Amino acid sequence: MISVLILTKNEEKDLPQCLASVQWCDDVHVYDSHSEDRTLEIAKSFGAKITQRKFDNWSSHQNWGLKNIPFKYPWVLYIDADERVSEGLKKNILKKDLENIPEVTFEIQRRDFAWEGTWLKHAQISPFYLRLFRPDKIRYERLVNPVSIPDGPVGRLEGYLDHYPFSKGFRFWWQRHLGYADMEATMRLEDLKGKVNFSLVKALFSKDFSEKRYHQKGLFYKLPGRPIIKWLYMVFWRRAFLDGSAGITYATLQAIYEYFIVLKTKELFKNNK
């Protein structure tokens, strides 16, 4: 068997369905950032174990959890409260022999769904994430949208992890991404100060998905006109238009979010002169 880790902060709306999707697990941990709603009450009603810690940033918070939460099993499935383990993924997890294998983590494909339930199959930029792993063999880097750094071989597990980013409405999505923009801008400023070098070769050809994504992000943030480039990339290169109006709208939202990062970076750069 494996343990399940769920990060929460005021997740009374999404947590019940999330917990229902992992009822097959007898070691579910809710890692909470001092929720003020019914999150803990709901977690207890499902029999989940609770650990609380004040949130500082994504990588620090996740790394602390992996080191300090007393998991029952050597393998952990990490999911967010607005995600659901599909029936197909559940079956593949339960039948997977995780003993005496070289892999230390497995990529899982996530399906992002729009507000009306449309699968953003083409608009979604990063469909694979390292979510099933040995907690002693993985760490996270970056303040927001953290990159998973495995210490060993990576496999791939069939089945979908379903994600509902708009489950709490557009206002919540915007507020959260304004916070993300602040942290992305902070990292961009640190890269500028530290003169961090990103590799085009690794961004294009690295076999390590996490390393590839890290260098892609670093190089992307150096491009002028990023919001427009991102919109064109999502709509035409990734063919977001095939997802209908939901795909076009999602690409537009992502482009505006990118513009928030640009504006915040300029603001921080000006204030730090």
Give the domain ranges of the chain. 3-163, 170-271
DSSP single-letter state for residue 122: T
Per the CB < 8 A criterion, the answer to whether 85 and 22 are in contact is: yes
Statement: residue 254 has pLDDT above 70? yes
For the segment 9-13, the average pLDDT, to the nearest whole number, is 97
For 3-163, which CATH superfamily applies?
Answer: Spore Coat Polysaccharide Biosynthesis Protein SpsA; Chain A (3.90.550.10)
What amino acid occupies position 175? Q
For the segment 227-255, the average pLDDT, to the nearest whole number, is 96
Q: Which residue has the higher pLDDT, 113 or 208?
A: 113
Cα distances from 207 to residues 24, 105, 141, 155, in angstroms, run: 33, 15, 18, 12
- Per-residue pLDDT at 273: 66
Say how many CA atoms lie within 13 Å of 140 toward its Cβ: 22
For the segment 102-126, the average pLDDT, to the nearest whole number, is 95
Mean pLDDT across the chain: 93
